[in-house]
């Protein structure tokens, strides 16, 4: 037995509203591409890519309105709704507040929200050193903090890597935990390394070790000067 759709807005109006909103429009495009086989009737299964696209679409207010819109007698519209009904249960479960989803799905949910998408873009831009396993710079840490405060990024905190990602998911999760969340012990190599990653480009900063050597030399010279003064005083 299928779940009854909630009559709300006419589907042509809901589609236009969604298309003109950046986040919803992005998700709508993903839905049209990834659910094409299901919409056309070439399959009756909800493929993972189609499911992720619908999750992203329904995570937006306009997307929910589109999914629950009124076909107003259009047979084509009603057929599309009937065919994607197979995805509804899994999609509704995935967008529940306490659900845990794959990291690729969590990323799609974030990308469907303009503010979260912008925060995720800054995270990608300023944390390249983190992705390489080198360091979590203050700028990267700040970007991560901003992303962490976004409502639509909440599922990124608990997501799991399932191999469907187009990025090194587990490595990024491990590096973030190790380098940004206080579980990283700095080594001598980290002190000697004077390269700082800024927006993906390496630049040189003041080297820590030579500065330490100069201070040590200054202390030795001051001690020698003090001993000389004491010698002249004794004479």
Q: Is the pLDDT of residue 141 over 90?
A: yes
Report pLDDT for 183: 57
83-114 residue pLDDT tens: 999 999 999 998 888 899 999 999 999 999 99
The rounded percent of the chain whose pLDDT value lies above 70 is 74
Q: Is the pLDDT of residue 225 over 70?
A: no
Dihedral sign, Cα of residue 11, residue 12, residue 13, residue 14: positive
The long-range contacts involving 163-170, CB below 8 angstroms and separated by at least 24 positions, are 164/48, 164/102, 164/104, 165/102, 165/103, 165/104, 165/107, 166/104, 168/131, 169/103, 169/104
Burial environment of residue 74 by CB neighbours within 10 A (0 to 12, 13 to 18, 19 or more) = middle
Q: Is the pLDDT of residue 214 over 60?
A: no
User: 134: helix, coil or strand?
Assistant: coil
Q: Is the pLDDT of residue 138 over 60?
A: yes
- Mean pLDDT check: name the lowest of 15-29, 78-92, 193-207, 218-232: 193-207
- Give the highest mean pLDDT range of 120-129, 208-217, 221-230: 120-129
pTM attached to this predicted model: 0.67
Report pLDDT for 233: 42
């Amino acid at each position: 037995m299928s779940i009854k759709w909630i009559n709300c807005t006419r589907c042509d109006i809901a589609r236009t509203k969604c298309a003109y909103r950046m986040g919803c429009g992005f998700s709508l495009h993903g839905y049209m591409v990834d659910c094409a086989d299901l919409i056309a009737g070439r399959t009756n299964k909800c493929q993972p890519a189609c499911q992720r696209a619908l999750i992203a679409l329904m995570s937006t207010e306009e997307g929910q309105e589109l999914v629950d819109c009124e076909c107003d007698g259009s047979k084509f519209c009603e057929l599309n709704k009937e065919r994607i009904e197979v995805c509804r249960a899994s999609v509704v479960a995935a967008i529940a507040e306490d659900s845990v989803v794959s990291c690729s799905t969590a990323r799609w949910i974030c990308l469907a929200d303009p503010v979260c998408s912008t925060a995720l873009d800054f995270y990608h831009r300023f944390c390249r050193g983190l992705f390489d396993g080198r360091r979590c710079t203050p700028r990267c840490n700040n970007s991560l903090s901003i992303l962490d405060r976004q409502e639509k990024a909440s599922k990124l905190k608990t997501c799991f890597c399932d191999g469907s990602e187009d990025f090194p998911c587990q490595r990024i999760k491990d590096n973030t935990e190790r380098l940004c969340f206080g579980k990283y012990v700095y080594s001598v190599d980290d002190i000697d390394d004077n390269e700082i990653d800024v927006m993906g480009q390496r630049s040189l900063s003041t080297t820590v070790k030579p500065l330490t050597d100069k201070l040590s030399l200054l202390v030795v010279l001051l001690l020698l000067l003090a001993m000389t003064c004491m010698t002249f005083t004794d004479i």
